[in-house]
Amino acid sequence: MKSPIILASTSPFRKHLLTEVGLTFSTAAPDVDEREIEGRAEHQHLSPEQLAELLACEKALAVSRRHDGALVIGGDQVMALGDRVYHKPKDMAAARDQLLSLRGETHTLYSVLAIAKDDEIIWRRVSLAHMSVRMFSEAFLDDYLEKAGDKILKSVGGYQIEGRGLQLFSAVEGDYFTIVGVPLLPLLEKLRQLDVLHA
C-alpha cells in the first residue's frame, strides 16, 4: 500500500499547482511559528538558503508527527538581496520602499521543498532563481502600485511574476515553478523514486 501524501500547507496556490500535475493528496496546516524559527535562525547566523531549508523542514516535520506513515511535503521560499531577507510588505508604502531597494539589483529566491515521513526528513531540495530588477522610473512604480493593488501585499518583495509584476524585471534566471515557490520537477522525480507515482 502506497503512503498517503499530505501537503503541509493551506495555501490555495500550492494546492492548485499540485492538483494540476495530477497528485492525489490531502492538506494540513503545519502550525509552526515562522517568526520564532526566523529568530532562531538569525541567532544561529543562518544564510537565507539555510533559513528556507529550516522553514520547509520544520513544516514537514510538524505535520509528520501527527500522521504516521504519510509522506509529508513542506515548502518555503526566502527572498534575499545579499544578506537582507525580505518579508511580505505590511502596507503599500512598505511595498514601495522594498521595490525601490530592489531597483537595479539582482536578488535571489530560495525555494525549498522537503519530504518527511515518521518524523524524519527523507528528502529536501533547494532551487534558486535570480531576479534582475530593471532601473524603472518612479512614475512607473506609482502606476504599477496603483494598478496591481493590495494583492501584492501577499507576495514577498511586493510583486507577482505571473502578472503585472513581470514588468519590473530585465532578466530572470530560474524555472517558473522555483520562482512561484514550488519547484515541481524535482518533487515529481522524487515521488517517482518513492514509487508514489508511475515512473
Cα Rg of the chain, angstroms? 18
What is the model's pTM?
Answer: 0.92
For residues 176 and 153, what is the distance between their CA atoms, to the nearest angstrom?
A: 20
The tally of CA atoms less than 13 A away on the side-chain side of residue 37 is 18
Q: In the beta sheet, which residues pair with residue 131? A: 107, 172
Cα-based distances in Å from 46 to 32, 84, 155: 18, 12, 23
pLDDT the model gives residue 50:
94
Handedness of CA 82, 98, 45, 125 (dihedral sign): negative
Q: Could you state, in chain order, the average pLDDT of each consecutive group of 10 residues for the chain (199 residues)? A: 90 92 95 86 88 96 96 96 92 96 97 97 97 97 94 88 92 93 95 91
Residue 199 resides in a domain? no
pLDDT the model gives residue 34:
85
Residue 55 resides in a domain? yes
Residue 46 resides in a domain? yes
pLDDT the model gives residue 56:
96
If one counts the domains in the chain, the total is 1
Residue 198 resides in a domain? no
For residues 5 and 49, what is the distance between their CA atoms, to the nearest angstrom?
A: 25
pLDDT the model gives residue 24:
94
Residue 173 resides in a domain? yes
Residue 133 resides in a domain? yes
Q: Determine how β-strand 26-27 pairs with β-strand 5-7.
A: parallel
For residues 66 and 28, what is the distance between their CA atoms, to the nearest angstrom?
A: 10
Q: What is the DSSP string of 89-154?
A: -SSHHHHHHHHHHHTT-EEEEEEEEEEESSSSEEEEEEEEEEEEE----HHHHHHHHHHHGGGGGG
Residue type at position 129: A
| Known catalytic membership, residue 68 | no
pLDDT the model gives residue 1:
65
Cell of 34: 515562522
Catalytic member of 31, 33, 68, 76:
76
In terms of residue numbers, what domain contains 101?
5-193
**CATH code at 115?**
3.90.950.10
pLDDT the model gives residue 39:
85
- Indicate the SS3 state at residue 172: strand
